[in-house]
Chains A and B, each alone.
Chain A
Amino acid sequence: MNAKKTKSWSLEKTFDVLMWVLLIAACLLIVIPLIFMFTSSAMPARDILRMPYPWIPDGFHWPNFWNALRGPEGDFIFIRNVLNSLIVSGTVALFTVVFSSLAGYGLAKFKFKGRNLVFMLIMATMMIPFEAIMIPLYMVAMRMGLQDTYTGLILPFLANAFGVFLMRQYLITFPDEILDAARIDGASEPRIFSTIVLPSSGPAVATLAILAFRSQWDSLLWPLLVVQSDEMKTIPLYITKFMAETHSDEGIMMAVAVMASIPMITLFLTLSKYFVSKEGLTSATKG
């Protein structure tokens, strides 16, 4: 084996070096726009579109961040908008987990007539793209008076077919003996669910929560339809407001981009194993 290796070292080694070069080149290409975002946020607007681009900023241009926070109206509404995004994304994540695990548990561990039909129906909703139902959904929300409210932003996304699927897959493998033992001990079904099943579903719950949070954080279309006032805007809407403003300064815009991305970047770095793990992948159409 060793003899074979040293004989053809030049071919193998060249391959290796080539791999590394390609990987590093690809890595750089992908990462450059991100670097651009960070460096641009630290320079005054007129430098950003200078030719050639001055990669290393001339000192940190704090006014960008100050003005980004201050907002075009000078009312620091950005802080409120960040809060809105956090509230909406967090609530959706929380309730998605609750409702999905309830349904997943019911489908996994209880036999009842029509169980398969219910499962098929729920899976069928995954085939309905949001863009196809956004208009009727919008009209329903309007009739219920949900425009410009947190409820309006949150409610339509609590029903998550993929979440149900995920929890069901996970819970199917949960040992029945433990459940039966608890029942014999006299524990009620809700008790069993909350004290035994849910706590041991950690990985699935975490993955689902992160997926739901991220999907909401990014959401543009629904808030665009539902939100009317400045105060209720979420971060993507705040950014589009900035882009249309009379004095759209590129430096400030990049600062807004950086600040808007910090929560997700932090989540990504600290919980990277959930993004790049096997469970994190099959998040089908929830990009």
Chain B
Amino acid sequence: MILKKTSVLLLVVLSFLLATSVVGAQNIEITYWTHTDDNRTVIENRYIEEFQAMYPNVTIKRVVNEASKMGDLMLTAFSANNAPDLFNLPIEQEYGYMAHHRVAPVNYEAIGYKDAEDLIGQYMAGTFDTVMMDGQIYGLPLELTNWSIYLNKNIFRDAGLDPETDYPKTWEEMIEVADKLTLRNGEIITRRGFDFRYPYYLVAMLPMVEQLGGSLLSEDGKTAIVNDEAWIQVFEWFRTWGPHGRNLGSPTYTSARKIFNMDNNDIAMAHTGFYQQGRIRVDNEEFYDSGEWMVVPYPVFENAVNDVGASYYGHFMMVNAQAPSERQEWAWKFAAYMLDHGWEYLETVNIIQPRQDLIDDPRYLELPYMNVFMDDMARSHMVFLHENGFQFERFIKEAIESVMLSNMPSEEALDILRERIQEVLDDTY
């Protein structure tokens, strides 16, 4: 009796285990991490549904976090060996993972290409430069973005300026124009002319140094800070901008791109990308339709030796090298499926995949101010990339803050910056 009971129980348990293991083996779950973007979430959720309908044994779990936290989160996930299968980050944050072999090379066959050459041919020249290592490509581009200057025409006119002709073409003009546009209550600023894109110093501020002939590292990458005068001129420009100078703004005021769309008479110019238009359209359709905004190029210094625009950066889809190979394959398949909708990404999310067929499409250059963005991109280069790029940006941030807010002498701030970067370069780990 007991024997019968136990053997029946055993049979039930075994068949249950078998069933679940079979089902388990069949069903593949891909985790996909990305950053918040209302418009993109809508279309990507649809792609997930379509993909899952095509391949019923695959489920995609999409997780979003805000962009500024993504870097930290990915880091903790990878260090716990618990990273998602598929993710995207800005290239300057992804670089470290590639250098440490934490991400896998593209599976060309899985996504319908013969090899790396074939894939490269489909995209704009230079697209894959920063994600190639030893002849292999490590990411698929989600977007290539550069920033130019958005301008609120109403505010310009209110200050007695003509937006079409009076917009700043040099950084020196930027100070003067912003001064005319700025409204204050005593010392407290209530309307700013322009606001810098503060945490992103590598993209938005380093080119200013390069315009004057300076650079962050020497050619061989071994020495920190080249051309002190260039750096000091930029530091001084920031001091003039801040509360200890002409009082035109500071990192402690609300970031421009958050309030520009509202057309609330509090910010005249913002430094942001093509995608901002999509957000203006969503946040304030009236403002969008009124045409009371425009885009102008990134300014240059009067004594610039190089005409350099703000750096562009990319977001690439990458796959975790430690995921089982089957999941990796599906991750690439899914990524490619999403990315195949290039035009929809452009129209709905306003982000540009540098696919040749997209850029050759006649509708492309007709998009509002696309020519301004393209011209700016033509005179820029990819954002500074380095295994420790993350850290260097933090050091630059602290240097600028010291000069601008704590009124530290520029030479001292530069020396501290040089020391800290050099130390990282000299480290064996």
**Chains A, B in direct contact (C-beta < 8 Å):** yes
Q: Are A73 and B258 in contact (CB under 8 A)?
A: no
| A74 contact set on B, CB distance < 8 A | 38
| A6 contact set on B, CB distance < 8 A | none
| B258 contact set on A, CB distance < 8 A | 246-248
B64 at the interface (CB under 8 A from A): yes
A142 at the interface (CB under 8 A from B): yes
Known: A51-B188, A72-B36, A74-B38. Contact between A230 and B65, CB under 8 A?
yes
Within 8 A of B (CB), among A223-239: 225, 228-230
Bound: A222/B41 CA distance, A = 29
Chain B contributes a number of interface residues (CB within 8 A of A) equal to 26
Bound: A221/B114 CA distance, A = 48
Give the contacting residue for B77; candidates A145, A228, A246, A247; CB below 8 A.
A228
Chain A residue nearest in CB terms to B264: A46
Known: A74-B38, A142-B80. Contact between A228 and B66, CB under 8 A?
no
The range of chain A's interface size is: 20 to 34
Within 8 A of B (CB), among A24-63: 46, 51
Bound: A228/B69 CA distance, A = 10
- Mark A193-228 against chain B: 1 for CB-CB distance below 8 A, else 0: 000000000000000000000000000000001001
Q: Are A245 and B188 in contact (CB under 8 A)?
A: no
Q: Are A245 and B36 in contact (CB under 8 A)?
A: yes
A241 at the interface (CB under 8 A from B): yes
Bound: A247/B77 CA distance, A = 26
A269 at the interface (CB under 8 A from B): no
Q: Are B69 and A230 in contact (CB under 8 A)?
A: no
Known: A72-B36, A225-B76. Contact between A244 and B69, CB under 8 A?
yes
Known: A46-B264, A142-B80, A228-B73. Contact between A51 and B66, CB under 8 A?
no
Q: Are A246 and B36 in contact (CB under 8 A)?
A: yes
B79 at the interface (CB under 8 A from A): yes
Q: Are B76 and A247 in contact (CB under 8 A)?
A: no
- Mark B282-309 against chain A: 1 for CB-CB distance below 8 A, else 0: 0100000000000000000000000000
Q: Are B79 and A51 in contact (CB under 8 A)?
A: no
B159 at the interface (CB under 8 A from A): no
Minimal beta-carbon separation of B287 from chain A (angstroms): 14
Chain B residue nearest in CB terms to A229: B63
Q: Are A230 and B80 in contact (CB under 8 A)?
A: no
Query: Of A74, A147, A228, which is in contact with the most chain B CB atoms at under 10 Å from its CB?
Result: A228
Chain B residue nearest in CB terms to A240: B69
Give the contacting residue for A244; candidates B68, B79, B82; CB below 8 A.
B68
- Mark B253-283 against chain A: 1 for CB-CB distance below 8 A, else 0: 0100110000010000000000000010001
| A244 contact set on B, CB distance < 8 A | 66-69
Bound: A156/B310 CA distance, A = 46
Footprint of A on B, CB under 8 Å?
Answer: 36, 38, 41, 63-69, 73, 76-77, 79-82, 185, 188, 190, 254, 257-258, 264, 279, 283
Footprint of B on A, CB under 8 Å?
Answer: 46, 51, 72-74, 138, 142-143, 145, 147-148, 225, 228-230, 240-241, 244-248
Given contacts A74-B38, A143-B80, A244-B66, 18 further A-B contacts (CB under 8 A): A51-B185, A72-B66, A138-B76, A142-B81, A147-B76, A147-B82, A228-B63, A228-B77, A229-B63, A230-B63, A241-B66, A244-B67, A244-B68, A245-B36, A246-B66, A246-B257, A246-B258, A248-B258
17 contacting pairs across A/B (C-beta < 8 A): A51-B190, A73-B38, A73-B64, A142-B81, A142-B82, A228-B65, A228-B77, A230-B64, A240-B69, A241-B65, A241-B66, A241-B69, A244-B66, A244-B68, A245-B66, A246-B67, A248-B254
